[in-house]
A and B are shown apart, each in its own frame.
Chain A
């Protein structure tokens, strides 16, 4: 699953919850799915950020 797919599904879930279209029984299940999607997105973002910082550090050492 890509970051964009996860984010799109997460946004859809939040919108559905906020519109109150969700049955009470389904509520917990959707919420848990939302949290899972959030963790996926956050992990991917963290990974990318780490890589960028690493690259920036390595090009700076090239220069010196």
Chain B
């Protein structure tokens, strides 16, 4: 459309565009109507003037996140909003559908892109937008390389070393939960912790989990929870795209996790790439639910354990006294028999001695016709022991008699 087409035969005039108090940066001719000495422009004329002025702006690359992507077969153009990840400023973007489809990018919400385009005015509504000439997906490769470098650097410092991993407390006094403020992850963790272990104390720190403010916010929350007495911390985030989870690979967050004064569980749901905070945490859980299972014991299981232990105690005590009783009874039985046994042994020894005594007795010799001769108490063994007239006693097998030596 040219200025001439829009002139409606009215006298030409000028509209000045640019900063109100600044220098003029350009003039565009638009027809104005003269009414009572005042130049008046139609909306259409005004918009057209702006549009033409905008057309003079250079074509350039703009980086942002794709949001509100709208594409329909019956539309000539595809629309989306480019969002500044730093402060959320937005810019509507339009691209002819044929060109957009030809790029075959398969863009998702939140993806970071570089758009090559220039400003244009949607004249019908006086809306500024970016006319995209081409779109390039940006960041994934660059981010991955940066992440890999960071991972190697932190690994080199030993932040991920196995011997740094600490065991979680068996019965946590205070559980610190770091999570986004509206996150389903928060509800999941809380619900499962309380279900498993109703007496659990939980302190929740709500943080940004996405965007440029997330890393500092998360790192600060971890330190705060430690200071407020948490003895275990859960860092929870429901699943998200690679870029959503970038804060969990941010060096500040990874260091905060590694330096955390108490054991920390990373429960950042992810599908492929492991966020670096997972490597620095003492334990990682695949889901917020799994994290709950890690930090608190199952109270039903605990009750069963205590009951089993008590049964065991009773049985053990019973068995121990029973064994002592059996041993004592056996000892008593031996004690009862021991004196008789001892007596019998004595008697046996006595009998042996008696038998030996019998073997030494002279009776058998006497029975063969020998005699024992005594004078007084002495046995006479030689002839010169006696003289004539001595009284002697003679012992034979069946008795004794006296005699006189001649």
A residues apposed to B, CB below 8 Å: 3, 7, 10-11, 13-14, 17-18, 20, 22, 24, 27-28, 31, 34-35, 38, 41-42, 45, 48-49, 52, 56, 59
Contact = CB atoms under 8 A, between A and B. Distances in A.
A13 B332 CA distance: 11
Contacts of A17: 335, 338-339, 341-342
B143 interface: no
A47 to B, nearest CB: 10
A20 B328 contact: no
6 contacts: A7-B331, A31-B338, A34-B338, A38-B332, A38-B335, A48-B321
A28 B339 contact: yes
B332 A45 contact: no
Nearest to A6: B328
Interface string B327-368: 110011011001101110110000000000000000000000
Contacts of B56: none
A34 B160 CA distance: 69
B314 interface: yes
A35 B318 contact: no
Interface of B: 310, 314, 317-318, 321, 324-325, 327-328, 331-332, 334-335, 338-339, 341-343, 345-346
B350 to A, nearest CB: 10
B331 A27 contact: no
B27 to A, nearest CB: 95
Contact of B325 (A18, A31, A45): A45
Given A41-B328, A45-B328, A10 B335 contact: yes
Contacts of A42: 328, 332
Given A31-B339, A52-B318, A56-B314, A24 B332 contact: no
A13 B342 CA distance: 12
B352 to A, nearest CB: 14
Contacts of A45: 321, 324-325, 328
A32 B3 CA distance: 136
A59 B306 CA distance: 13
B314 A52 contact: yes
Nearest to A38: B332
A24 B331 contact: no
A12 B325 CA distance: 18
Contacts of A22: 342
Contacts of B310: 59
Contacts of B335: 10, 13-14, 17, 31, 34-35, 38
A43 B339 CA distance: 23
A40 B397 CA distance: 61
Given A7-B328, A52-B314, A18 B343 contact: no
A20 B321 contact: no
